[in-house]
Amino acid sequence: MRKLRYPLDNLLKANNSFCWTPECKQSFATFKSILSSDLLLTHYDPRQKIVVSADASSIGLGATISHMYPGGSMRVIQHASRALTEAERHYSQIDREGLAIIFAVKKFHKMIFGRRFTLQTDHRPLLHIFGSKKGIPTVTANRLQRFALTLLAYDFDIEYVRTDDFGNADLLSRLINTQAKPEEDTVIASIETDIKAMVISALHATPLHFADLIRETQKDPLLQKLIRYIREGWPNNTTYTRDLSRFFARKDALSIVEGCILFGERVVIPQVLQRQCLQQIHQGHPGIQRMKALARSYIYWPSLDADITEWVKTCQPCQAVAKSPPHSSPVPWPEAAGPWQRVHVDYAGPLDGDFYLIVVDSFSKWPEVFRTNSTTSAATIGILRGIFARFGVPTTLVSDNGTQFTSEDFKSFCFLNGIDHLTTAPYHPQSNGQAERFVDTFKRTVKKISADGRTMQEALDAFLLAYRSTPCSALEGFKSPAEIMLGRKMRTTLDLLRPTPAERSTDSPVAKKRREFYPSDLIYAKCYSRNGWSWIAGTIVNRIGNVMYTVRTVFNKIIKSHVNQLRERRVRHHHQHHHHHHHRESAESVGLPLDILLDSWQHTPLQHTTPTCTGVSTNPPTNAQSLASVSDPHTVSNAASLHPTKAPIPVNRTSREPRRSSRLRRPPSRFDQYRRF
């Protein structure tokens, strides 16, 4: 078909001019003849005469349903065929022909049931069995009798057609897929293998008995050698194997009872039974510590603790409902260079039926709150357009993954205004902490103010006035957001509040070290649904920034996750009983080069004379390096560990005058009566 259509397809190409060639004319004529020929199927018409044809060969069944038109021509409505099963191939020819008719009427049941049709076959004996007006002959085989009973539900006339004129159905019965099928012996062997595996699994699930330990201890060469050493004494000046050396360190506590070795009161388990023993202890899915405590009361082998740890960490049901790992220490956003360069947005509410769009400037902490009854993309864009008209268009806008922020309209709005739109990890509001923290403050404060009898709008105005004019400890010089944003203090009727809240440590005692993952690492990622969340196995694709990762789940779905939503995943190896430790060299264990410490952290060492080294680069660090080092010290450590720098740069050390405290000093009140100089 493609070759026939090629001359006409060339006329439709963009770079070709329309030129009707003889090849195009021939192609058009060929298609015209095909469309008007009887090679095509026809639509089903219940007003036309219906003819059903069926035939069978030694390998398959074929059937067609056609319309016979008043002029005597026939047009096929549908073709059907299938291969015979192994049992059906042993049918006699008359049984196969009857089976073909049953296959045809069942296949075309919706088109022939309740309507009279003609049934065609090339096997003449079936006319007397299926077309007899006197009923089913009593001498008919049981299989054919069942076929005849099935045909009693249909209204048809049966007729014989010579095989030479029965090409459609006969051809379909022979055009069967010749794909090689598995040998019967191969199938049986596969079934036996599966059954054997099921039996072994069932046996492993049964409890172990002392008799099993005695039998397997006698077969274990290591334990038999250990029994001989316990009875005859340990040889002197002998280098033991690794397995024996671990028992040698505990030789004083080893004893033999009824052919089994005891370590204190614990039975030493042969290697072939260790996995089954772990499975029996873990039936209740205890944690690592509880499982160790239970195992230490009954059994022993040298690597028991490591094997238990590996068993629990590779248990799929345990990992699917495991607790979240300790949260990584928060990584602050890079400090903005000036006001209104990076803004954080979020929605709060509903409060009294309304929503509030929160916009917070990262540099000055200046908040904007707008009351709205719609959270659509159009409403959000309209509010932001008004804000940008007053303060200008920011460089970066940070939001969560709400539909109003991820819609195509909002993406287009950011693109047209030259805004770099960043979204946080799904279900991880801490990533947009600037806006989320203000939302919490806004909700609590507005509820307090509205409790005095004021309306929500009055409470909102009072809150914004107080918040913008209140000095903020996070700002340089303990200034208020208004001083940073507007360059002046706001005039209010309230006293300026100067709280000195103690700086709260954001570091968790159990999460001092930031967790990191690398591409191709096996992990569990939090996946959220309406009913909650669960751990889903996946693989790290790449890293986005300091704490964001792209993850590919086992369902081949790409998600974006925060480091706090990821856990390490280990895969159990069935033929390995010992725990393998995989260590990555920590970035903190690698010392930082002197040039990075001096340039990145802006330390000025004491002045002293150092010799000048030739051939050492003195180029200053690039802006990207400086920004990475300031915003995240761990990034510098990792860079130093992966790409060693050259020798440290000699620096002329100059003295630095002492730093003076900027804290406000207030003299004690007891000196008020005295004149101070």
Reduced to 3 states, what is the DSSP secondary structure of residue 387?
Answer: helix
Position of tokens 């930031």? 514
Do residues 248 and 384 share a domain? Answer: no
Q: Taking residues 275-301, what's their average pLDDT?
A: 85
Pick the more confident residue, 353 or 643. Answer: 353
pLDDT at 523 over 50: yes
pLDDT-derived band at 189, boundaries 50, 70, 90: low
pLDDT at 508 over 80: no
Do residues 77 and 30 share a domain? Answer: no
- Give the long-range contacts of residues 301-305, CB within 8 A, separation 24 or more: 301/268, 301/269, 301/271, 301/274, 302/243, 302/246, 302/247, 303/577, 303/578, 303/579
Query: Is 138 part of a structural domain of the chain?
Result: yes
Pick the more confident residue, 178 or 549. Answer: 549
Beta strands in 462-563 (DSSP E): 522-529, 532-544, 548-553, 558-562
Please give the C-alpha separations between residue 91 and each of 86, 96, 137, 649, in angstroms, as whole numbers.
10, 6, 20, 93
Last residue of a domain, one of 318, 353, 378: 318
**Residue 364: per-residue pLDDT:** 86
The percent of residues in the chain predicted with pLDDT above 90, rounded, is 18
Distance CA 162, CA 55 (A): 11
**Residue 506: per-residue pLDDT:** 47
Do residues 595 and 580 share a domain? Answer: no
Q: How many CA atoms lie within 13 A of 576 on its CB side?
A: 10
**Residue 494: per-residue pLDDT:** 54
Query: Is 246 part of a structural domain of the chain?
Result: yes
Residues of the domain holding 20: 2-35
**Residue 97: per-residue pLDDT:** 92
Distance CA 144, CA 130 (A): 9
pLDDT per residue as tens digits for the range 416-471: 999 999 888 777 666 666 667 777 777 777 777 766 777 778 878 888 888 888 88
Reduced to 3 states, what is the DSSP secondary structure of residue 543?
Answer: strand
Query: Is 179 part of a structural domain of the chain?
Result: no
Structure tokens at 574: 């069935």
pLDDT-derived band at 160, boundaries 50, 70, 90: very high
Task: Say if residues 676 and 645 touch (Cβ distance below 8 Å).
Answer: no
Do residues 445 and 359 share a domain? Answer: yes
Please give the C-alpha separations between residue 168 and each of 78, 85, 119, 392, 496, in angstroms, as whole numbers.
11, 22, 14, 77, 97
Do residues 203 and 259 share a domain? Answer: yes
Structure tokens at 31: 């298609």
Q: Taking residues 540-561, what's their average pLDDT?
A: 92
Helices (H) and strands (E) in the chain, counts: 24, 19
CATH code of residue 224: 1.10.340.70
pLDDT at 325 over 50: yes
pLDDT per residue as tens digits for the range 132-154: 665 666 656 788 888 988 998 99
Query: Is 444 part of a structural domain of the chain?
Result: yes
Distance CA 334, CA 342 (A): 10
DSSP secondary structure code for residue 263 in this structure? E
Query: Is 391 part of a structural domain of the chain?
Result: yes
Task: Say if residues 63 and 80 touch (Cβ distance below 8 Å).
Answer: yes
**Residue 66: per-residue pLDDT:** 93
* CA proximity to 441, closest of 552, 525, 356, 507: 356
pLDDT at 611 over 60: no
Do residues 277 and 373 share a domain? Answer: no
Do residues 466 and 387 share a domain? Answer: yes
**Residue 283: per-residue pLDDT:** 81
Query: Is 332 part of a structural domain of the chain?
Result: no
Distance CA 454, CA 156 (A): 87
pLDDT at 498 over 90: no
pLDDT per residue as tens digits for the range 114-123: 999 999 999 9
pLDDT per residue as tens digits for the range 636-673: 334 334 444 444 444 444 455 666 666 666 667 666 66
Query: Phi and psi dihedrals of 396, rounded to 5?
Result: -130, 140
Give strand pairing partners of 49.
Answer: 68
Query: Is 125 part of a structural domain of the chain?
Result: yes
**Residue 64: per-residue pLDDT:** 93
Distance CA 559, CA 129 (A): 66
| Burial grade of 208 (CB within 10 A; 0-12, 13-18, 19 or more) | middle
Which helix (H) or strand (E) is 313 found in, with range?
helix 304-313
Distance CA 257, CA 251 (A): 15
Pick the more confident residue, 329 or 629. Answer: 329
pLDDT-derived band at 629, boundaries 50, 70, 90: very low
pLDDT-derived band at 491, boundaries 50, 70, 90: confident
Distance CA 536, CA 552 (A): 10
**Residue 203: per-residue pLDDT:** 44
Task: Say if residues 149 and 98 touch (Cβ distance below 8 Å).
Answer: no
Cα 427–430–432 angle (5° rounding)?
95
Do residues 533 and 566 share a domain? Answer: yes
Do residues 140 and 116 share a domain? Answer: yes
DSSP secondary structure code for residue 461 in this structure? H
Q: How far apart are the first and last CA of the chain?
A: 107
Do residues 207 and 311 share a domain? Answer: yes
- Position 120, amino acid: Q
Do residues 570 and 599 share a domain? Answer: no
Distance CA 247, CA 242 (A): 9
Structure tokens at 222: 């290591």
pLDDT at 405 over 50: yes
**Residue 134: per-residue pLDDT:** 55
Torsion angle of the four alpha carbons 96, 102, 107, 112, in this order, in degrees rounded to the nearest 10: 140
**Residue 197: per-residue pLDDT:** 54
- For the chain, the domain total comes to 6
Q: Taking residues 502-514, what's their average pLDDT?
A: 51
Name, in order, each residue with C-beta under 8 angstroms of 43's C-beta and a sequence gap of 6 or more. 77
pLDDT at 65 over 80: yes
CATH code of residue 83: 3.30.420.10
Asked whether the CA dihedral 593, 594, 595, 598 is positive or negative, the reply is positive
- Alpha helices in 57-124, H assignment, sequence order: 93-107, 109-112
Pick the more confident residue, 34 or 129. Answer: 129
Last residue of a domain, one of 139, 174, 209: 174
**Residue 459: per-residue pLDDT:** 79
- Position 538, amino acid: G
pLDDT-derived band at 573, boundaries 50, 70, 90: low
**Residue 4: per-residue pLDDT:** 76
Q: What is the DSSP string of 314-366?
A: T-HHHHHTPPPPPPPPP-PPPPPSSTTSEEEEEEEEEETTEEEEEEEETTT--
pLDDT at 555 over 80: yes
Do residues 420 and 310 share a domain? Answer: no
- Alpha helices in 392-432, H assignment, sequence order: 403-406, 408-416
Pick the more confident residue, 375 or 3. Answer: 375
Query: Is 95 part of a structural domain of the chain?
Result: yes
Name, in order, each residue with C-beta under 8 angstroms of 499's C-beta and a sequence gap of 6 or more. 473
Distance CA 94, CA 98 (A): 6
Pick the more confident residue, 612 or 192. Answer: 192
pLDDT at 634 over 70: no
**Residue 338: per-residue pLDDT:** 85
Torsion angle of the four alpha carbons 204, 205, 209, 214, in this order, in degrees rounded to the nearest 10: 10
